[in-house]
Amino acid sequence: MIPRKYYATFMGGMGYSGVMADLNQVFMPTVVDVDGKPTALGVTSKESDAWDVLRAFFARAEDTEFIEAFVEAWEVDFIGEEPNNELGRMRRRPCPICERSSFWEELGEITFKGERKGISGRCHRPECSAWIEQNNIEDERWDCGWPAAQWTKRVESYNLGFRGLVEMRGAVTAAGRKRHSTMSKEIMEDL
């Protein structure tokens, strides 16, 4: 097992945002199966390309055994220990809306308890696309949404965002049962 440093975020990649004139780093998108075995999906010279590779993979990963993913930066022509840094890690869980295993959440830094909690997430089935994002102005705010139902909600934590999505699904299901609302029915059928 390669020791990894945990910092930086999904999109940002702190310290790696500059445009590179020379190739001094390469980026490796990797997925991990249920047994913990990693499979690299490629090597790119741009960090954004590595994340694009993962996103494309997530869209068709529902029936695979892969449950985690990460992107690493590797120093080129670096001799010594730890030539690699982990830039971000994702974990798959059942979607709070469509309940399929296509929801990938970005994990935060390891807490003092040794846990990593979700900080943002998205369902990668286009029909669903439920999401939770940290508000980029207010740190202590998260937004969650379900595009098919045109619903969004603002909440105080990532977990409340997850719960907000579960409630949205419940409300649409209940409305569909009560009024046989066409909108609710159509949305649920698409899922």
Q: Which stretch binds Zn ion (CB under 5 A): 65-73, 82-90, 116-124, 167-175?
A: 116-124
User: With binding defined as CB under 5 A, does residue 132 bind Zn ion?
Assistant: no
d(CA 173, CA 160): 20
| Residue 46 or 163 having the CB closest to Zn ion | 163
At its nearest, how many Å lie between Zn ion and the CB of residue 24? 39
Residue with tokens 């929801």: 103
Q: Which stretch binds Zn ion (CB under 5 A): 28-36, 94-102, 114-122, 165-173?
A: 94-102
> What stretch of H or E contains 108?
strand 103-110
Single residue of 67, 95, 119, 172 touching Zn ion by CB under 5 A: 95
Q: How many CB atoms lie within 10 A of CB 142?
A: 24
Single residue of 8, 28, 50, 97 touching Zn ion by CB under 5 A: 97
Tokens of residue 71, six digits = 């992107």
| Residue 17 or 173 having the CB closest to Zn ion | 173
By three-state DSSP, how is residue 187 classified? Answer: helix
* Interface positions, 160-189, toward Zn ion (CB under 5 A): none
d(CA 161, CA 130): 11
At its nearest, how many Å lie between Zn ion and the CB of residue 98? 3
Single residue of 8, 128, 172, 187 touching Zn ion by CB under 5 A: 128
By three-state DSSP, how is residue 102 classified? Answer: coil
At its nearest, how many Å lie between Zn ion and the CB of residue 165? 9
* Burial of residue 138 (number of CB atoms within 10 Å: 0-12, 13-18, 19+): exposed
Positions that interact with Zn ion (CB under 5 A): 95, 97-98, 123, 128, 130
